[in-house]
Chain A
Amino acid sequence: MSGAAGDHGDGGRDDLLRYLDRECAIALATQGRLAVLLIELRRVDRLQALLKGPPPT
């Protein structure tokens, strides 16, 4: 889990779960709100390789 936005920590799933556990508890206790965003970085060049498709038979 990294620090503030822009830090580049490796972040592990366990660290993330611990952090979320704490923040969820705070959000519920304070009637606040928390958002989680999961970004998938799909690279187009992988798709380009697949574009070749199966060879004509």
Chain B
Amino acid sequence: MTLSLVLERLRPALRPEDRVAAISDEQICLVLPRIAHPTQAVLAAVKCLRALDRPIAHEGGTAVLRPCVGIATVPEHPADPAQLLMAVDVARRIAGSREEGYHVYQSEDNVEAEVYHGLDIDLERAIRANELTVHYQPQIELSSGRPVAAEALLRWRHPTAGPIPPSTMVGIAERTGLIASLTFWVLNTVLRNAAQLRKEGIIPNLSVNLSTRALVDAELPDLVDQALRTWSVPPGQITLEITESSMIGDAERSMAMLTRLKGTGVGLSIDDFGTGYSSLAYLKRFPLDELKIDRLFVAGLLTDRGDHQIVRSVIDLSHNFELRAVAEGVEEPATLEELKRMGCDLAQGFLMARPMGEREFRAWWLDKGGTHA
């Protein structure tokens, strides 16, 4: 694909006085002089994204682009040309993880860029080299006190930067187009572990978190199905966790994706429930199995009347919709007792166990009398 085809697409979105510079084969810089307001730059970015929305036919085939646009304006941002380019590059990196595909540079954006500069390339290498690990945090069935499930949590210890927070890792994966690869790696690893545990008669339900960007990948249900078949793990043993915010962006598309995922036989859970803006209608329409009560509400359960009412409401709501209620972040015995009294189904948190590697998890599970064939 040549840049000339891309520029041809962009031409109608630009004014005659706008200037274009090709930075590399994959980056184009636009300079828009004499604009009236910063929103004019955003409008131009949206027009460019729309212009590149359709596949581009070229001699070597057809290129499908998922472009993103970083934006910076003067005088709002640095007027020094080098600093301005750095600012727009930071904005471009952040835009890659945004649903809308663009981002206007903010002064506080620099922090993450400086701290994690260079990790983009390293993550791709880490995925390929199997350098990431999955840890498991058990979930206890409150009625029996036995472990029945666990949440899979991705871990990456960078050789020089040390442990990288999962949110940063997912952010990098989303903006660099690695999220599908990362999602598949996690699914593959969790299912491989599940298959090994099954051979020893250990059968926990395992939850895997899906990022918002992973949910818009039309191939995700096929990947899930393929991974389940590869490892011969019953789909009912796997639960996919999604966040509220990933559902509400485009309800119809979310509904279609969740229905396809549900069609593979896996369970579906809404993570951090209560922190977003879910409509109750979604709970009725979406094929869900579980609501996870956000740890913030669980932390205030015994001290904050509002938090107590929220937890109470979410548990009741779950049961009214025939869903499991799972409390996250349980750290105090009294909190666990109160959740049990309130009829919460499952609980996870440091009180019961911290996230642990597969080998340690296996030993812990057997010691605590977890679900066993």
Name B5's closest neighbour in chain A (CB-CB).
A8
CA distance A42 to B27 in the complex (A): 9
Q: Is the CB of A38 within 8 A of B35?
A: no
Known: A33-B37, A51-B181. A40 touches B96 (CB 8 A): yes
Q: From B129, which residue of chain A is reached at the shortest CB distance?
A: A54
Across-interface contacts of B28 in A (CB, < 8 A): 38-39, 41
In the complex, the answer to whether B81 meets A41 with C-beta atoms within 8 Å is no
Contact A28 B79 (CB under 8 A): yes
Tell me if B38 and A16 are in contact (CB < 8 A).
no
Q: Which residue of the partner chain A has the closest CB to B31? A: A36
Chain B window 121-133, contacts with chain A (Cβ cutoff 8 Å), 1 for yes, 0 for no = 0001001101000
Please tell me if the beta carbons of A41 and B65 are within 8 angstroms of each other in the complex: yes
Q: Is the CB of B84 within 8 A of A36?
A: yes
CB contacts (< 8 Å) of A18 on chain B: these are 81
Q: Which residues of B contact A51 (CB under 8 A)?
A: 180-181, 184, 219, 223
Main secondary structure of the interface of B (DSSP, over half): mixed
B222 to chain A, nearest CB (A): 10
Q: How far is the CA of A57 from the CA of B188 in the complex (A)?
A: 10
Complex CA–CA separation, A53 to B178 (angstroms): 10
**A-binding segment of B9-17, B138-146, B262-270:** B9-17
Q: How far is the CA of A56 from the CA of B229 in the complex (A)?
A: 12
The proximity string for B residues 266-282 relative to A, scoring 1 for CB distances below 8 Å and 0 otherwise, is 00000000000000000
Residues of A within 8 A of B19 (CB): 1-5, 19
Q: Are A16 and B85 in contact (CB-based, < 8 A)?
A: yes
**Shortest distance between the CB of A21 and any CB in chain B (Å):** 5
Let me know if A54 and B130 touch, CB within 8 A. yes
A17 CB to nearest B CB, Å: 5
- 6 shortest interchain CB distances as A-B pairs: A11-B21, A35-B41, A5-B14, A20-B81, A50-B181, A6-B11
Can you report 29 A-B residue pairs in the complex whose CB atoms are below 8 A from each other?
A: A1-B19, A2-B21, A4-B16, A5-B14, A6-B11, A11-B29, A17-B85, A20-B81, A21-B81, A23-B33, A32-B34, A33-B74, A34-B31, A35-B31, A35-B40, A36-B32, A38-B71, A38-B92, A39-B30, A39-B48, A39-B52, A40-B26, A41-B6, A41-B52, A42-B68, A42-B96, A43-B65, A51-B184, A53-B185
Q: What residues make up the interface of A, taking CB atoms closer than 8 Å to B?
A: 1-13, 15-21, 23-28, 32-47, 50-51, 53-54, 56-57
Extra contacts, 17 of them, besides A5-B10, A36-B88, A46-B177 (Cβ < 8 A), are A1-B21, A4-B17, A5-B15, A15-B21, A20-B81, A33-B38, A38-B28, A41-B26, A42-B66, A42-B96, A43-B65, A45-B63, A47-B66, A47-B180, A50-B178, A50-B181, A51-B184
